[in-house]
Amino acid sequence: MSRFSGITDNPHEGRFHQKTGILLTNLGSPDAATTKAVRVYLREFLSDRRIVEIPRLIWMIILHGIILRIRPKRSAKLYKSIWTEHGSPLTHITQQQSAKLGTLLKQQGYENTEVVMAMRYGNPSIEAGLEALREKGFTRIVVLPLYPQYSSPTTGSTFDAVAKVLGKWRWVPELHFINGYHKNSAYIDALANSISEDLQANGTPQKIVFSYHGMPKLFLDNGDPYHCLCLQTTRLVVEKLGLDKESVISTFQSRFGKAEWLKPYTDEALKSFPEQGIKDIAIISPAFSADCLETLEEIEGENREIFEQAGGEKYRYISALNDRDDHIEALVDVLKPNLG
Ligand SMILES: C=CC1=C(C)c2cc3[nH]c(cc4nc(cc5[nH]c(cc1n2)c(C)c5CCC(=O)O)C(CCC(=O)O)=C4C)c(C)c3C=C
Ligand SMILES: [Fe+2]
Ligand SMILES: [Fe+2]
């Protein structure tokens, strides 16, 4: 058998058309909200060298000896609390985004495009997504990871997965990899719109918290730009809305393990607000392009409780951009320079 795979029924001229396949990716979820499915998912996720950088042998002992014995049960319970009739919110919303993006591209005149969604961990896999595009004859592929702020554990890891698959292909496609869009003006507009809609409906809170997914501080120290890109997104949204700088804060959530992560931590900030007299807040998570465990359970549930137990009175979560029209328009804007 050959080392490299290919489609062998090439109709010669037929495969050289200028069609662009778009692979829309996100992080991924377990296949079900069960301990077993979560264990499979976490094994793949936490074995990724971009996610956990501690020496391999030590990490494998910790992962298989401790974490995969304890965490799946706990995480499955959390997943159960957010699971819907369509399954994982993250997967379902990514499917909706993918369908709407495909339609909007066609409406805007990009007839020769097709969108396929894939997940970095779990299903549908990046390999399946790329294979589907190859089967359909796309020899030009744009990969758009739905992480506005580049980071090595997310965007970098998606690149690894794409490269691993394409490294086995005989005919490597013309590849465009979008490594972020944290300051794209249409993305900033969509965030600003979602905030101003909330302010109009619910009034202006004392503080707007921009809570980004965290990462070990060591990644920043070693050159990961994510922290700076997050702060830049916040600044641009604040400027767009003409907000007072003092009325917003950028924080980092979802700590994992004992090492120091990016600060300030969301939960600690929320706990400290009421004693400073800040009892009315709105919270938004711009790094999540779709609602998921980390927003629906952690921000909506756990963090609300922390704030209220500390004496907070009004707490509202502003949803991820999900399949809002202005979000899908922003994705088209991000894609445009790569559509040929
Ligand atoms: C272990 C280290 C982790 C790093 C570094 C990390 C970075 C990171 N993650 C996202 C986006 C998401 N993460 C999600 C879940 C999740 N993240 C980690 C760990 C790290 N993430 C774990 C172990 C989990 C699984 C849930 C759990 O068991 O607690 C999700 C949600 C997935 C879902 O199914 O809903 C997203 C999305 C970003 C943007 C990021 C960047 C620094
Ligand atoms: Fe994460
Ligand atoms: Fe920074």
Does the predicted interface ipTM exceed a cut of 0.90?
yes
| Structural domain for 57, as ranges | 35-82
Determine the pLDDT at residue 132. 97
Nearest to 19 by CA among 177, 178, 173, 180: 173
Pocket test for ligand 1, best of 25, 26, 27 (most atoms within 8 A of CB): 27
Terminal CA-CA length for the chain? 36
Residue 153 lies in a domain: no
- For ligand 1, whether the C-beta of 252 sits within 6 Å is no
Determine the pLDDT at residue 24. 98
Residue 64 lies in a domain: yes
Reported pTM:
0.96
Pocket test for ligand 1, best of 46, 93, 256 (most atoms within 8 A of CB): 256
User: Would the annotation count 227 as a binding residue?
Assistant: no
Residue 298 lies in a domain: yes
Q: What ligand has the least distance to the C-alpha of 29?
A: 1
The series of mean pLDDT values per 10 residues for the chain, 340 residues long, is: 84 67 98 98 98 96 98 98 98 98 97 96 98 94 98 98 98 97 98 98 98 98 98 98 97 95 98 98 98 97 98 98 98 95
Cα 166 from Cα 148, distance rounded (Å):
24
Residue 326 lies in a domain: no
Determine the pLDDT at residue 12. 62
The Cα-based distances of 101 to 87, 216, 297, 305 in angstroms read 21, 33, 27, 36
Residue 125 lies in a domain: no
Residue 245 lies in a domain: yes
**Residue with CA at minimum distance from ligand 1 atom 17:** 254
Residue 76 lies in a domain: yes
Query: Is the peptide bond between 124 and the residue preceding it cis, with omega within 30 degrees of 0?
Result: yes
- For ligand 1, whether the C-beta of 52 sits within 6 Å is yes
Residues 189 and 75 in one domain: no
46 CA → ligand 1 middle, Å: 10
Residues 190 and 76 in one domain: no
Residue 100 lies in a domain: no
Residues 190 and 71 in one domain: no
Residues 78 and 189 in one domain: no
CATH at 297: 3.40.50.1400
The Cα-based distances of 297 to 82, 167, 216, 289, 302 in angstroms read 7, 38, 21, 16, 7
228 CA → ligand 3 middle, Å: 4
Q: How far is CA 315 from the centre of its chain?
A: 23
Atom from ligand 1 closest to the CA of residue 30 = 34
- For ligand 1, whether the C-beta of 59 sits within 6 Å is no
Phi, psi of 111 (to 5 degrees): -65, -40
Q: Which three-class secondary structure state does DSSP give residue 114?
A: strand
Cα 313 from Cα 98, distance rounded (Å):
38
How many separate domains does the chain show?
2
